[in-house]
Structures are given as structure tokens and as C-alpha cells.
Amino acid sequence: MELGLRDRVYVVSGASRGLGFATAEVLVAEGARVVLCARDEDAVTGAAARLGGPDHAIGIAGDLAAPATADALVAAAMARYGRIDGAVISVGGPPHGAVEDISDEVWRSAFESVFLGPLRLARATLATSTQEGVSITFVLSTSVRAPLPGLALSNGLRPGLAMAAKTLADEFGPRGARVNAILPGRIDTDRVRELDEATGRPQSTRREREQHIPLRRYGQPEEVGRVAAFVASPAASYMTGAMVTVDGGSTRSL
């Protein structure tokens, strides 16, 4: 299938590794150019180099929780490539813990990084782009549909961001813009390995969790990246306001 991504330009956050980098790989392979964002400068510039360097990708160190980051990323795309067609916003995982154990300060910090920062990048992209069919794709979590054990921050904040995404889809649909979200399940990323390690028995934890996944395995980042790239692309031109689950069948709700 031709995704129609050639010469289009996307900002991809959380892009030095994991799901963000996997998505950027697919976008570049399909002919798009990307502005990668991650907090670690060496990691994000290294990621851009692995994607072919400035003709295909540039890396910008930044934290979405910082108010200025969203505008800086959009400006970098315009300065380097002369256009912006969308953003794939991979929202990093907040600390694990129970509601009763998480302080107000940690909740506020997580709100900035998990909710408000991604929303700023979506708004900045939608406000700046003059391209037809601009697309915002949030990479969230199955916690949008059902709470995950020990992940109170994710359970509390990601569903709200998903509803904000659907509201943006309503608001910007008449202008031809699309806003969607990907809901990954148990994917074999550094983040998920860290969560398994936190149990003190990572190998048995993984085996136990795989038994609750119909496909009986964790997903691979590229399996999410391919879906995210499709949803972001012109090939999905009539898809907006959608929450697309990529979880091996583990979510039991519709």
C-alpha cells in the first residue's frame, strides 16, 4: 500500500528509542522527513543520524513538559524542511505507583509531561501547518480503556488526554485536520522491561502477563510503529477521533 508520505514532514516526540523511534523509522522509510524530540541530546541526535541525518531527520533535545518546547519543535520543522504535516506524539510513561502513595507534587509533574506537554505540541502543530490533511497521532496506552495495575498516574491522565484528542478531532475536522490515538498494550520496550524489573521477578512476570495476551507474547516496537505511521498518513484520510488498540488482543473491552 502506498501511504502517501513522501516529502511530508512530521514531528515525532519520545523519539530516541522505543515506540517513537520505531514510528520515525517507518515514516522515513516511506519517504517522510522527521524532527525527532527527546530529553537526552546525545540520544536524540544519535537517533537522527541512524535515520540518515539532516536530509531525512534532525534531532532536537527538549522536554514536552517545558512550555517552550512545542513551539520550538514546530519552528525547527519549518526552518529545516519548510513545512509541517503533522505530529506523532509518543507520550512517555510516568512513574508507577498507587493513587494513595503518589504525592500532589508528582501528580502535577506528571500532568505537565503526560497531558499538557503533548497537548501543547498538538495545538502548535495544528495552528502552524498550512498543509492539507494535517494529522496528529497520540501514542498513548491501553490504560485509556482499562486501568493497569500499579500505574495510577497513567490510568488517571491518559484517558483525559484521549478525550482531549477526540475533542480536537471535532474542533479541527471542519478544517480538514485529523486527530487520532494509538493504544499500545504490552510492548517489548525499555519502559515495559523496567516495569517488569520493578516486580523483582521480571522473567516470571513476563511469562504470567503473556498468558493474558491472546497472541501469547509481548509486541515489538515496529508492530506499533507501522500502525502509527499508517494512522498518521494520508492513506488513513477518513480516520479521525479514533482510538486504535495495538495490544495482541489483551484489552477485553470494545
> What is the per-residue pLDDT for 176?
97
pTM for this model (two decimals): 0.95
Q: Nearest 5°: phi and psi at 245?
A: -85, 130
Question: 215-238 burial string, b = 16+ CB within 10 Å, else e?
Answer: eeebbebebbbbbbbbbbbbbbee
Q: How far is CA 159 from CA 15, 67, 142, 148, in A?
A: 22, 22, 9, 12
Q: Is the pLDDT of residue 163 over 90?
A: yes
Domain boundaries, the chain: 9-187+221-245
97-122: average pLDDT: 96
Mean pLDDT over the full length of the chain: 96
Q: Nearest 5°: phi and psi at 136?
A: -110, 130
> What is the per-residue pLDDT for 91?
79
For 223, half-sphere exposure in the C-beta direction (CA atoms, 13 angstrom radius) is 15
Query: How would you class 188 by CB atoms within 10 Å of its CB: exposed for 0-12, middle for 13-18, buried for 19 or more?
Result: middle
Interval 28-52: pLDDT, tens: 999 999 999 999 999 999 999 999 9
> What is the per-residue pLDDT for 47?
98
Interval 134-148: pLDDT, tens: 999 999 999 999 999
Q: Is the pLDDT of residue 92 over 80?
A: no
How far is CA 43 from its chain centroid? 17
Q: Of 192, 118, 114, which Cα lies nearest the Cα of 153?
A: 114
Interval 54-85: pLDDT, tens: 999 999 999 999 999 999 999 999 999 999 99
104-112: average pLDDT: 95
CATH topology of domain 9-187+221-245: Rossmann fold (3.40.50)
Q: Is the pLDDT of residue 1 over 90?
A: no
